[in-house]
Amino acid sequence: KEMNETKVPGDVAFKLYDTFGFPVDLTADIVRKEGFSVDETGFNRLMGEQRKMARASWKGLEGREATQEFYKSLSTSGLKTEFVGYHMDAVASRVLCLVKEGKTVDAAFAGEDVEVVANETPFYAESGGQVGDKGVIVGKGFTLKVNDTRKPVADLIVHYCTVTEGTINVDDAAELVIDIDGRNATRRNHTATHILHAILRKTVGEHVRQAGSLVAPDYFRFDFSHFEQLGADTLKKIEQEANKAILSNKDVRTDVLTYNEAVERGALAFFGEKYGDLVRMVQVENVSAELCGGTHVRRTGDIGLVKITGESSVAAGVRRLEAVTGEAAIEYLTRVEDTLKEAASLLKVPKNDVPEKIKKIFEEEKELEREIERLKSKEKAGAAGELLESVRKVNGVNVLAAKVSGDAKELRDMADALRTKLGSGIVVLAAAQDSKALLLAAVTRDLSDKYSAGEIIKRLAPVIGGKGGGKPDLAQAGGPDAGNIGKAVEQAYKTVEEMSA
């Protein structure tokens, strides 16, 4: 405002996002309320530069580097892959290119890792947080295991494979078959991500924006803009609402339409993302609508169940949900049930009574701790009584120096008790702990001006090889020479005598 600007500069919005984890969508929402906008062109330029640097050099399965320029050259030479995986799990295709260690080759043999490009593929390439598909490529005389699928440049899908049998050659006919179980699990997780996103916005607030995600077969995580931890009740409500949407078996529809049409229909588009003229909109009936290129279930009932397993902070203003669906959710709940059964068996109570039993055990433990403290106090009082029999008169002053057992706190408590019983006098206690020596001096107030506890400790500390100090009425020291504790105790009487002179 002071600079009469109407736009937040792109570099400022990018720094908020890149350095502080502040979602650019949230920045845009906040400044819009003040009558400003964000320099989207500048932000996109900086975001593009960052992505370019990130993609300029990335690692293959065995650490082999493959540059974006290499794959770009393959694409410009005419290699293209058509993705048919939205509707097909397997396809008859042709091998267009084989790559080993960053170079094109004519063939790959059993035991070798190779990157395969085919003219058609049902394999989804890692994108939008969804991991790449796994599966097999088979043909006459060869079998390959597909370990990962990526898309280094537009229109070119690369399968990262291990040749498990035979020899594969360029131009071979091959059948590409995805791991359907893995794909189905990923579908469930991806649609569940959309459902949770929508319910988060409804429950927590419309400031919630996706700030990253990972959609894998075994679990998914979803990062979103929010400034505080979600409470247990909020998480429970979100999970319940998500499972209601799943049990309702709502239709999941995908449409390809123009960007403007999708936004007009209420689709969530993410600031800073680049969209073409045509976009793919995924709608969960009466729940959510997002622009997304990932794979999804046909109806929410296919998800089966969603279970939130964790909520945490990943950056300033960014929270993370982790969850499982389908069989993974059932397995998770089975493990929880097994743990509860084991706890009930150990506690010898029904499962429903486990929390109350644990609460009772904690209460009993606290009471036992209090009883132990009472017994310790009683023991200390008895020990203090015995120690009082060892009081010596040094120039008319009651002095008690003794070797005891205990830590620094226990020595202070014992010294306080002895000082009180003496009425007027000086107490010096020494103890060994973890092969080290502890010294503590306590002086009644009527004597502290002449016999400072701090001065007594200052003179005794060198005996145990240490240093110390404190107040006139209470001081302590520590040192490594635990073997000199007895010497320090005897020296205490001499020290008081010297200070009396």
Encode pLDDT of 222-278 as tens digits: 999 998 999 999 999 999 999 999 999 999 999 999 988 988 888 877 655 667 788
261 Cβ contact partners less than 8 Å away, ≥ 6 residues apart: none
Confidence of residue 340 (pLDDT cuts 50, 70, 90): very high
pLDDT tens across 426-478, in order?
A: 999 999 988 899 999 999 999 988 999 999 999 999 999 998 889 999 999 99
The fold of the 391-500 domain, in CATH, is Diaminopimelate Epimerase; Chain A, domain 1 (3.10.310)
Q: Which CATH class is domain 185-335?
A: alpha beta
Reply yes or no on whether the pLDDT at 280 is more than 60: yes
Domain ranges of the chain: 7-59, 65-178, 185-335, 391-500
Q: Say if residue 313 is exposed, middle or buried (CB neighbours under 10 Å; 0-12, 13-18, 19+).
A: middle
443 or 55, greater pLDDT: 443
To the nearest whole percent, how much of the chain has pLDDT over 90? 64
Burial class (CB in 10 A: 0-12, 13-18, 19+), 40: middle
Q: Which CATH number fits domain 65-178: 3.40.50.1360, 3.60.21.10, 3.40.50.300, 2.40.30.130?
A: 2.40.30.130
pLDDT class for 194, splitting at 50, 70, 90? Answer: very high
Of the candidate ranges 69-78, 199-208, 239-248, 438-447, the one whose mean pLDDT is the lowest:
69-78
The pLDDT, as a whole number, for residue 263 is 86
Number of C-beta neighbours around residue 323 at 10 A: 24
Whole-number pLDDT of residue 192 = 97
pTM, two decimals, is: 0.68
Encoding tokens for residue 328? 């993974």
Six token digits for residue 118:
């085919």
Distance CA 275, CA 271 (A): 10
The amino acid occupying position 259 is: Y
Q: Which of 335, 339, 331, 372 is nearest to 358 (CA)?
A: 339
Domains 65-178 and 391-500 belong to one CATH topology: no
Give the pLDDT score at 468: 87
Predicted pLDDT of residue 276: 75
User: Is pLDDT at 63 greater than 80 in this prediction?
Assistant: no
Is 363 a residue whose pLDDT tops 90?
Answer: yes
Three-class DSSP category at 389: coil
